[in-house]
Chains A and B, each alone.
Chain A
Amino acid sequence: MERKRNIINSLSLVPEELEQFNFARYEKYAEIERTEARAEEYRMEDAEICVAAFGIASRVSRNAVDAAREMGIKVGLIRPITLWPFPVDPFKRSLSTVKKYISVELNMGQMIEDVRLATECRRPVTLCNRAGGMIPTPEQVLEAIKAAANGGEQ
């Protein structure tokens, strides 16, 4: 064949080459983590309790946060908009005021591990969840917030 042939593949069997490829990929992932993480912070200014929730769970949690605030509980919400890269920064910053975290999820607890990693396990993190397509009510989340405020469940 006159021209150089094209080979399209994703297989790299030479360790020296594959290691360089891995390094290059991880540089790219690190850049994504630096530039693409997004989250919404809601009533977090002076929050001592932080509810972490995304998607449907976050909408439910927002009502619960408002209800708890009316009762005088200092609670806020961090709503990750990207789950990867996980928005570590808002969690790191929140450590200056927050004493307890509640991960509200529609599963058996998946993001709770990311919250623990983001806060480097420096505060207790509890789970408030439903599963199988069931959705927690604002009341259920409010109960979890009240329990945290009363020093319960820990």
Chain B
Amino acid sequence: MLIKQISIFVENKPGRLSAVTKLLSDNDIDIRALSVADTKDFGILRLIVNNPDKACEVLKKADCTVSLTNVIAIGINDKPGGLSAAMDCLYAANISVEYMYAFISKSEDQAYVILRVENNDKAVEALKENNFTILKAEEVYDM
């Protein structure tokens, strides 16, 4: 149910981001979704890829600071109000969201949202109860 997200520490220096993405493509790793959170000094690049374990190994070998975090991917209707329904559901269950980011699927009416919450089990339970589609790891990796 949970998806392995790769988080990479990137200092705000020119070329750092492109170096990471080049390294991944050189190693035949496809990026499914991506988000960058940054401050004045540094950023955290968060990636969903087809092969997280291999990506992690490749990045570590290249002296990147990397961690794997379990996140949830849900499918929502790609129309107004789709995301806020999911947020309402989590809010009602008293689950705070650390961060999230969306990506569009190949099918037309679905969008996907990656959620990083404090308690994955509780969040999955609440979302399921409210009939949200929760993606399996393989579904996301093989997308």
Query: Do chains A and B interact in one complex?
Result: no
